[in-house]
C-alpha cells in the first residue's frame, strides 16, 4: 500500500513539473481561445512573450505562480502580485509597457453588464531586475492609473476569469503614460464598464504582447468547472481550473511605485499520468 501511495505522489510531482515546463506563446494563445478570452476580451491574440504573474499567499507567505486557466481563491489573490515577462524579442528590452488586469465576467459570467472591471491599470513598466532565475521583472516608474483591487466575485456567481495583459506603450521618452491616458482613464474613472481593446486603440498601444488569465470563484464556493465562467460549451485542459503550485517566498523588492511582479495546457503525458493517479488512488484506501 505504501509503495502505491509513493508512486501516486511521484506521478503528481511529475505532472506538476511537466506542466511547469510547457508555457509557450502558442499554448497561452490556445488557452485564451479555449476559455473564450478571445473573442470576449480580445479580437485576436498573438503573444510575443510569456507573462508571469506571481501572488504571495498571505496565509503561508508562499509564492503562487499563475498558469493559464488555473483556479485561485479571493484570499490568495488579495494582495497585488509581481509581474515579469520572458521570451520577448531583444528589440523589446528598452521599451516601456502598459499592464491591464481586468474581469470580463462582472457581475456574473451569465450577466456581464458591468464588464469589464479594471483591477489594475498601470504604465511605464520596464524590464528591470529579475522576477526569478529565468524571468525579468516588470517594474513601473509611475503611479498606477488604477490601483490594484483583488478579485471578489459576488455570492452565487460562477467563477470569473481574470485576465492580465501586457501592451507595448509607444510613448516618447519625455512622456509618462498617466499623462497620455488621462482623458481615457484616470484615478477617478469608474472601474466598471472598461473596454481594454478600445482603451489600447485610443492610447496608441500595440499588442497585447503577452498575457495570462486565471479563475476565481466567490469566497467559500468551489470552482467545479471553468466552462461556466468562460461560456465555453466544452471543458478543456486550458479551461479547467488547475491546482495551485506554490514555492517558498523569494519576492523581489521594488521601491518603484507601485511595486509589481504562466503554465499552459496540460500535455497528453500529463493527462495520462493524472488518469493513472485517479486509477490507483482507490487502492490506497483499500
Summarised one tens digit per residue, pLDDT across range 90-102 is 888 788 899 999 9
- What burial class does residue 224 get, using C-beta atoms within 10 Å of its C-beta: 0-12 exposed, 13-18 middle, 19+ buried? middle
Q: DSSP secondary-structure letter at 280?
A: H
**pLDDT at position 13:** 34
For residues 133-168, one letter each, b for 16 or more C-beta atoms within 10 angstroms of the residue's C-beta and e for the rest, the string is eebbbbbbebebbbebebbbbeeebbbbbbbbbbbb
**pLDDT at position 177:** 78
C-alpha cell read off for 45: 491574440
**pLDDT at position 74:** 96
Res. 284: pLDDT tops 90: no
Res. 148: pLDDT tops 90: yes
CA gap 76, 256 in Å, rounded: 23
**pLDDT at position 198:** 92
Please give the order of strands across the beta sheet that includes 97-103.
70-72, 206-216, 160-168, 97-103, 117-130, 136-140, 82-86, 50-56, 63-65, 246-247
**pLDDT at position 222:** 60
How confident is the model over 111-127, as pLDDT tens digits? 999 999 999 999 889 89
Residues 6+ apart with CB under 8 A from 118: 100, 101, 102, 146, 185, 191, 194
Name the strand (E) or helix (H) holding 26. Answer: helix 25-34
* Closest listed residue to residue 266, CA positions, set 12, 4, 87, 7: 12
Res. 257: pLDDT tops 60: no
CA gap 149, 140 in Å, rounded: 17
Positive or negative, the CA dihedral 191, 149, 70, 93 is positive
**pLDDT at position 39:** 95
Of the ranges 150-159, 164-173, 189-198, 206-215, which one carries the lowest mean pLDDT score?
164-173
pLDDT-above-90 percentage for the chain: 49
Question: How far is C-alpha 152 from the geometric centre of its chain's CA atoms?
Answer: 15
**pLDDT at position 94:** 80
Amino acid at each position: 500500500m505504501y509503495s502505491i501511495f509513493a508512486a501516486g505522489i511521484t506521478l503528481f510531482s511529475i505532472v506538476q513539473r511537466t506542466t511547469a515546463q510547457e508555457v509557450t506563446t502558442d499554448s497561452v494563445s490556445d488557452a485564451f481561445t479555449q476559455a473564450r478570452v478571445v473573442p470576449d476580451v480580445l479580437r485576436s491574440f498573438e503573444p510575443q512573450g510569456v507573462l508571469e504573474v506571481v501572488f504571495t499567499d498571505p496565509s503561508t507567505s508562499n509564492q503562487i505562480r499563475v498558469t493559464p486557466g488555473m483556479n485561485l481563491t479571493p484570499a490568495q489573490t488579495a494582495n497585488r502580485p509581481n509581474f515579469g515577462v520572458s521570451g520577448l524579442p531583444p528589440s523589446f528590452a528598452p521599451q516601456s509597457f502598459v499592464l491591464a488586469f481586468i474581469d470580463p465576467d462582472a457581475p456574473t459570467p451569465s450577466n456581464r453588464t458591468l464588464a469589464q472591471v479594471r483591477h489594475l491599470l498601470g504604465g511605464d513598466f520596464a524590464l528591470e531586475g529579475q522576477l526569478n532565475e529565468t524571468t525579468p521583472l516588470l517594474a513601473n516608474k509611475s503611479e498606477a492609473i488604477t490601483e490594484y483591487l483583488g478579485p471578489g466575485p459576488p455570492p452565487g456567481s460562477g467563477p470569473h476569469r481574470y485576465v492580465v495583459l501586457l501592451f507595448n506603450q509607444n510613448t516618447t521618452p519625455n512622456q509618462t503614460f498617466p499623462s497620455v491616458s488621462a482623458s481615457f482613464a484616470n484615478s477617478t474613472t469608474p472601474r466598471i464598464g472598461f473596454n481594454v481593446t478600445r482603451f489600447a486603440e485610443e492610447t496608441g498601444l500595440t499588442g497585447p504582447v503577452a498575457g495570462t488569465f486565471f479563475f476565481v470563484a466567490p469566497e467559500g464556493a468551489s470552482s467545479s468547472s471553468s466552462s461556466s465562467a468562460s461560456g465555453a460549451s466544452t471543458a478543456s485542459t486550458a479551461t479547467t481550473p488547475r491546482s495551485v503550485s506554490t514555492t517558498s517566498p523569494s519576492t523581489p523588492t521594488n521601491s518603484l511605485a507601485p511595486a509589481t511582479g504562466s503554465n499552459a495546457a496540460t500535455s497528453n503525458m500529463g493527462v495520462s499520468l493524472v488518469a493513472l493517479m485517479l486509477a490507483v488512488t482507490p487502492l490506497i484506501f483499500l
